Amino acid sequence: MLNLSAPDLTQHPPRSPRVRLGGYVHLPRLLDKARADAAGKLGEFHYNCPLDGHFFEFTGISHEVLLAEVKLGRSDTEMLAWVNARSKRGPSEIAAWSVWLTGHAPGGHEGHAWFGQELTRAPERRDIVTFFDLLDFDDYVSYGGKV
């Protein structure tokens, strides 16, 4: 059984970045990684990765402060209320940012080169074009799914 209050990311992936909480894409995944980090069960995942950084930049919340709040054992609902009290972003801004992040893809030569290298694991796949697509694919195959 999954323990969402202290997920073990060595045994299962965090939630998909597409899952929303309060309109924010990626927030449930970010909370899973923060909780796993606090529990020492982060595995191969990284808390405060560049994708996490987009959330922190958008909300104005630092990764250290969010992690400290997560360590208090707050639920998703409590964490959303906490984020909303600090970020002051309105629903339309959150919706627009979430659409933007969902479609986020590599930019520049280095980003495209790295992304292309990641795709060599599944060269026949033409549906992996965004970071969210790549994360969902990687989570699936990393935990036993077939390419």
Token digits of residue 5: 């209050």
144 and 117 inside one domain: yes
Q: In terms of residue numbers, what domain contains 78?
A: 1-89
Give residue-wise pLDDT tens across range 36-77.
Answer: 999 999 999 999 999 999 999 999 999 999 999 999 999 999
Residue 2: the pLDDT is: 57
10 and 62 inside one domain: yes
59 and 13 inside one domain: yes
Task: Band the pLDDT of 3: cuts 50, 70, 90.
Answer: low
Cα–Cα dist 106/124, whole Å: 19
82 and 130 inside one domain: no
Question: Would you say residue 95 lies in a domain?
Answer: no
DSSP string, 111-127: HHHHHHHHGGGSTT---
Task: Band the pLDDT of 34: cuts 50, 70, 90.
Answer: very high
Residue 31: the pLDDT is: 98
Token digits of residue 35: 């909780």
The pTM for the full model equals: 0.92
Higher pLDDT, 145 or 64: 64
Phi/psi at 64 (5° precision):
-70, -40
Token digits of residue 30: 């970010």
Residue 4: the pLDDT is: 64
Token digits of residue 112: 């495209």
Higher pLDDT, 6 or 67: 67
73 and 117 inside one domain: no
